[in-house]
Structure 1
Amino acid sequence: MPKTKLRAAALAGTADDVEATFYESLQRGDIDALMACWADEDEVFCVHPGGPRLVGASAIRGAFEQMFANGAIHATPAHVRRVESLASAVHNVLERIEVLTAEGPRHAFVLATNVYHKTAQGWRMVAHHASPGTVHAPDESEEIPQTLH
């Protein structure tokens, strides 16, 4: 099946399918596939670690295009926590980011919250908010603390 058909199938699926497409798009540096994950609504928003709130598809696209100018973003989601209903889903994700340095690959961790709504076009992302994560790499068996403050 061609990539565009696979992408369309994923976007017609669940919020989990859209999330998988979002992270695959980051890893490939594919701006069109990434933007296909977003809802076609004026109020969608995105916040990158330490960055401003970006509102609207064109602002979000511009930010990701700038990021992709430096290469793909090697972000792998882990430790996903989900709150879902019939028409919305909220996923809290620990993103493992691979950064290439002169000393070799290093890993950083980012906590992200992804919000999805079920639209006429299927599930779509309406918000992505990322902030600096843990100082160390959590072990797969290690529980991420659940307290807010």
Structure 2
Amino acid sequence: MIALFEDSNCMDSHATAPFAQNSWLRASSTCRVTSDRYEDNVTGESIILDEQTLTRELQVAIDEENYTEAAKIRDSLRLLKEDSKASVLAANARFYNAFRKGDLAAMQTLWAKGDNVCCVHPGASGVLGYDDVMESWELVWMNYEFPLEIELKNISVHFRGDVGYVTCVEFVRTKGSSWGAQFVTNVFERIDGHWFISVHHASPVDL
């Protein structure tokens, strides 16, 4: 069993009882973080929906043997997937969808496999290696009721080559609790054409 949850003085809305929550945030509060801003995680979610819509439309065009239309849709889908900014945002949205639902199976597919991946839950030491990172999520979610309420603010995305990262302020509320906030950095790697998360680092926001 990996050693987590050592600092009881740190608020964490990722965690279960071992993390004491000593900072709270009203849902209407705003956080002063300087970044290139997006209103919320709708950007990433809309990209996922665009991918799904184009994929469905492509299949319809193929079924109808409308190959001219199918080629256009295929090109649009390819361009969307090749757009690094859009792809990183979509990968970030998938990460938060799994987080929101407490879906360990989905989370397992989103992380890069290897000993170099790292996850830092608020108030805890860094967890290294794919297997221990997955175990850490299972432990964190142990006493949660899903789905969680999660909102992202001040989203900024950066990328170069096959590495991209997203910074944001993550607001999480569990059932019966107040909002908790973390400043988050999520690092993604492009492996075989797909973006996988390799680092998740969440630190409490002192408002």
| TM-score, with structure 1 as normaliser | 0.75
Shift of 1:86: 2.5
Aligned equivalent of 2:161, options 71, 83, 86: 86
The whole-number CA distance in structure 2 between the counterparts of 1:21 and 1:100 is: 22
> Structure 1 residue 99: deviation in Å?
3.2
**Structure 2 residue 206 is matched with structure 1 residue 131:** no
In the alignment, structure 1 segments of 5+ residues that lack a partner are 1-5, 136-149
Picking from 76, 101, 115, the partner of 2:187 is 115
Displacement, 1:68? 1.7
TM-score (norm 2): 0.55
More helix by percentage: 2
The equivalent residue for 2:98 is 25
Shift of 1:121: 5.5
Q: Larger % of strand: which?
A: 1
Deviates more, 1:86-95 or 1:70-79: 70-79
The CA RMSD over aligned residues, in Å, is 2.0
Report what 1:145 is aligned to.
none
Q: Distance in 1 between matches of 2:175 and 2:133?
A: 24
Deviations 1:25-75 (A, max 9, x none): 111110010121111122000001110110011111111101221124433
C-alpha contact (below 8 Å) 1:116/1:123 kept by paired residues: yes
User: Which has the larger Rg?
Assistant: 2
SS in 1 for 2:116: coil
Aligned residues of 2:89 and 2:157 also touching (Cα < 8 A): no
Q: Deviations over 1:76-130 (max 9, x none)?
A: 22211121122111111100011334xxx41111001000011125100110011
Structure 2 segments unaligned to the other structure (5+ residues): 1-51, 56-80, 82-86
Amino-acid identity (%) = 23
Name which of 160, 172, 175 aligns with 1:100: 175
Secondary structure of the corresponding residue to residue 69 of structure 1 = coil
Q: Give the structure 1 partner of residue 84 of structure 2.
A: none
Q: 1:42 to 1:85 in 2, by over 3 A?
A: same
Task: Number of aligned residue pairs: give it.
Answer: 123
